[in-house]
A = this chain, B = another copy of it.
């Protein structure tokens, strides 16, 4: 149990219950079974396996209850869960059906497809939260956007702007990311079906048809070709997540600065208490946004590293993705939720810093610069 785990005492601060369920072991197994059932269906449609077999496999997948201990033990040996899982699944089927399970597929097909099915679900959660956040920003902007606030450049008071000027600077990248998420939802979540060496469907037309039907059944996109060792689809998603948390980290950093006692551009309701200084109100949510942004920025390089997946399947680079990507999804979910909460807590009704705008050169029209 780590700090992100829902049951950890840090679980509500740094975790994300909703995302965590989607990246859980159970959800992964469930999505792999969905893949196996749909594969059988698609293959029966294209006459690669008998319809009866597909129906039996589908039923078995529905009713299947994995022996988790055995699964874990065998996965430690195989390095992937699929061989053990398929073996368990087969043992629920009559012998003449067993040979129609997982036909032509390889472990990576099941695991990468499960990942994409769940990333697509995660994207829905992100989209909903981003919409919330943008609504919040619009409300704050409508309520308080006209108020003056001191612009700060290079950590120095510069000249007075409106609060809206700053808020729009937070908004605009988020709107762009919202659009990009839409594109991802349309074309970014890909089926994996390449077989043992990534050639399934690349020359055989019937195989290609199976892949196409399978993609439809799973509501995933059919990629031009298998992407076993062409990992840009996951890297692009990781880039999106880290860019989002970076933008929210900027928002958090801005709030930390605005909420300093000596500035008080924003007052944070429900801020954290201190064990030694009860009068203090700590800007916890701003800090969390910064920490999560730094965390994803740290992790994203590992995903780029994993692009160097050698040959037709890289055990090491694929395993590296497993270590990094789920962490990024939870951090991103937590960052979005925290940003929504932060805006709800933020009282921007009385931006005070503009009051202290010094007289002198600052408000003069800038002519010529130097």
Assess whether A246 is in contact with B307, with CB atoms less than 8 Å apart: yes
Q: Given contacts A369-B276, A370-B86, are A153 and B10 in contact (CB under 8 A)?
A: no
A316 near B77 (CB under 8 angstroms)? no
Known: A9-B81, A13-B75, A293-B307. A107 touches B275 (CB 8 A): yes
A310 touches B253 (CB 8 A): yes
Verify A103–B259 contact, CB threshold 8 A: no
- A282 engages B154 (CB within 8 Å): yes
Q: Are A323 and B319 in contact (CB under 8 A)?
A: no
Instruction: Give the number of times this chain occurs in the complex, counting copies.
Output: 4
The CA of A337 and the CA of B83, in the complex, are separated in Å by: 23
- Is the beta-carbon distance between B156 and A260 smaller than 8 angstroms? yes
Residues of B within 8 A of A324 (CB): 295, 298
B86 & A369 in contact (Cβ 8 Å cutoff): yes
- In the complex, A79→B49 CA distance in Å? 54
Contacts of A196 in B (CB 8 A): 151, 153, 158-159, 274, 276-277, 366
Q: Using A25-B8, A75-B9 as known contacts, say yes or no to A291 and B316 having CB atoms under 8 A apart.
A: yes
**Chain A 1-44 interface 0/1 with B at a Cβ cutoff of 8 Å (1 = within):** 11111011111111000001001110011000000000000000
Q: Does A94 contact B (CB under 8 A)?
A: no
Min Cβ gap A25→B in Å is 4
CB within 8 Å of B: which A281-331 residues? 281-284, 286-288, 290-302, 304-317, 319-320, 322-324, 326-327, 330-331
A184 at the interface (CB under 8 A from B): no
Binds B, one of A66-74, A123-131, A134-142, A209-217: A66-74
Closest 6 CB pairs of A and B: A246-B307, A79-B284, A287-B315, A12-B76, A298-B302, A153-B313
